[in-house]
Structure 1
Amino acid sequence: MSIGSAIEAFASQWLETSDGQQIYLEQSGNPSGIPVIYCHGGPGGGSSPFHRQLFDAALYHIIIFDQRGCGLSSPALQLENNSTQHLIADMEMIRQHLQIENWVVAGGSWGSTLALAYGQAYPQHCLGFILRGIFLGREQDIDWLYRAGFGASQVFPDYYQDFLQPIAHLPDMDVLQAYQLQLHHQNQAVRLNAALAWSIWESRIATLLPNEFAQSGEMDAQSALALALIEHHYFIHHCFFEPNQLLNNLHKISHLPCYIVHGRYDMICKAENAFSLASLWPEAQLNWVVNAGHSASEAGIATALYQASREMADKLHSQKRTAV
C-alpha cells in the first residue's frame, strides 16, 4: 500500500493567539472523518502539502498547522513567547476553535516530541498517536546530532566538519553556545552563514541515500534561518523539558494506541529513542523501516505512515463498535 495522491485543503485560516501571534491552520480530507492533527518537525521546519498525503483522506479530517515563527505563521523567526508550552497551548486553541472533542495526534521528528508533550498535557482529548522518527528531547538526543564524539558526527565526519566551519574560530566553546553567538551576530552575513551550515548539516543526513542537499550543499536562505534559529532556541533550552520528561510521564498516555514508524538507519534521531518509547508503551506498535533513514519523504517511511493511519482508523472504529 502506497500513500494517497495529492490532497487539496478545503479550508485555511490564521488564528490569533492571546499574545498576538498568527498561527496558520488548514483542514483537508473528510470533515466528518476521524480528526487528526499533524505536528511538523524542526522545530522551525514548517508544514507541507505532502503531510496531508500521509493519511487516508476518506477516513480522516486532517488538521495541519505551522508552529510559531515558521511556515506561514507570523511573525516569522519569532523566538519570544516560543516554547513547547506555547505550542501545546496553540494546539489546544486549535482543538477548541474547531470544536473537536477528541483527536488522533500525529507528528514526525520534533513533531513526535510535540505530539507526546501535548498528549501528556491533555490525555483526555487524545484518541491515539501516529509518530515517526522519535525524538525525546533529552540531552543525549541533542548530543547525538550536534556534539562531536557522539553519533552523527562519527558517521558523517566530512559533513560534520562543514557544520563546524562557522564556529571553527571558537574551538573551546560548546557547539550550541558557539552557534548562539553566530546565529545572533550583528552581521547579517555571519548569521546567514551559520544558519545555512546548521540546516544543511541536518538535511544532508536525513535520508538513507544521498539527497539533493548532500549533493549540492545548498538551501533556501529563509528556510535555513527558520530551522536554525528556532531549533537552536529550543535545544539550548533543553526543549523546555525537565530531564527525561516524556518517558517519565508516559503513564499518562500509555493506555492509548500508538503506531511508531522509525527508519532503521535514522542518523538524526537514533533508533534507541523509538525502542525505549515502545518498550514502555504496552499499546504501541513499533515498525522498523529497514530501507530508510529519517525523512518522511522516503518511500518506506511514507508508506508505513499511511498504513499506520489505516490501521489506527480500523482500531478506533473497532473500539467504537465494541463500546456500543
Structure 2
Amino acid sequence: MNSPDHSSSRIELVALGWEDYFSALFTEHACAGDVPARVVRVDRGGCDTLTATGPVRAVRGSGLVTDRERTVCTGDWVVLRRDGEPAQIVDVLPRRTAIARASSDRTSERQVLAANVDTVIIAVSVADRVNLGRIERFLTLAYDAGTRPVIALTKSDLVDDILAGEAAVGAVAPGAEMVATSTVSGVGIDLLASTIIGTAVLLGSSGAGKSSLANALLRRDRMAVNDIRSADGKGRHTTAHRELLVLPGCKILIDTPGLRGIGVQDVADAAGRTFSEIEELALDCGFRDCEHRSEPRCAVQEAIRGGRLDSGRLERYRKLLRESEWSAARGDAREASKRSKRDKAITRDIRAMYRFRDRQG
C-alpha cells in the first residue's frame, strides 16, 4: 500500500481525527459489524485507508453515489465492510467540512479537494512573483469551508527582504496568520507545525514548495521533490494525487497537487471575509446599493483616491463575485433540469402502469 509508514499495530482513531460527531453517525454501522476508516488516498483501483488495526486497501461499493461532490475523497471517514476480500467501502459519513472548488468542465458540480479539514495551509513562494489574486481565491475557499487559513511563505532563504513579501501578502490577507518558512534552513517549520489544528490541507500553485514543506513537517523525506533549478531557484511539485499523512503530535496533513484553476461557486459570504476591508468601507457609502463605481459619496472610491485601497483589489473582488454568482446560477439550473427529468420519468412510469392495467382489464 502506497501510504504513510504505519505498522500493522493498532492506531488510535482519535489520532486520525475521529470525533464524537463521527462516532454518533457511525452507531448504526457499528451494530452491523462494519468498521470506520479514514481515506488516505484515492485512485482508479480503489482507496488506501487507515483503520484502528492499521492500513487497509479497499474498493468502493457499487451502491455509492457517483455525484462528484459526494464521491469518496481523501480525508473522508468511510464505512468499511471486511467480510470478504478485498474490503469494501459501503458508505461515506457526512463531512464536517470540505474544501471544494468549482469544476473546470460544464457540469456545474464542485470538485472536493479534501474532506473534514480544520486548517488550510496556503503555500506561497516569495522567491517568485506573488500572484495576489490566487491567494485571495485560496483564502475564499478556506473561509467558505469554515476552516482556518494559514499562509506559509516558502523559500524565504532565497530572498533578501522577507518583510517586503510579508507586507505584500498581508495586504490581501487581513486577519490570516502568516509564517515565513525555509525547508533549507528550517526557519519557521516548527512555528508552522504549531499552527495546525486537527487536520490540515496543503494548497498552493505548482512549484510553491509544497512537497518540501510536507517533508519538513513530517521530519522525513516522504513526498517526491524535483531538484530546484539553479537559474531561478524554482522547483516543480511532483505530487500527482491527494494523500493523507500523519504528522508528529497526532496531527494530520493532506498534501495536494499544484492547482492551476481555482474556480469558485456561491461564495459571496466567504469573499466578504477575504475582502473584509472593502466590506467595511462599503458601510460608509452614501447609498446602500452602491456599486463602488461612479456613485456620489462612495467610501470605497474615496479610499482608492486616497491611496488606502488598491483599485486592482476591488476589481478582483468584483470578478470573484461575478464568477461565484454565475457558477451558482449554473448549478441551480442543473438541479432544476435534474428535477424536471425525474418528474418526467415518474409521469412516464405512471402512464405505463395505467396502460398496463387497462390492457389487463
Task: Tell me the TM-score normalized by structure 2.
Answer: 0.29
Instruction: Give the number of the structure whose alpha-carbon radius of gyration is greater.
Output: 2
Task: Tell me the TM-score normalized by structure 1.
Answer: 0.31
Greater helix percent: which structure? 1
Greater strand percent: which structure? 2
Bigger relative contact order (CA 8 A; separation at least 6): 1
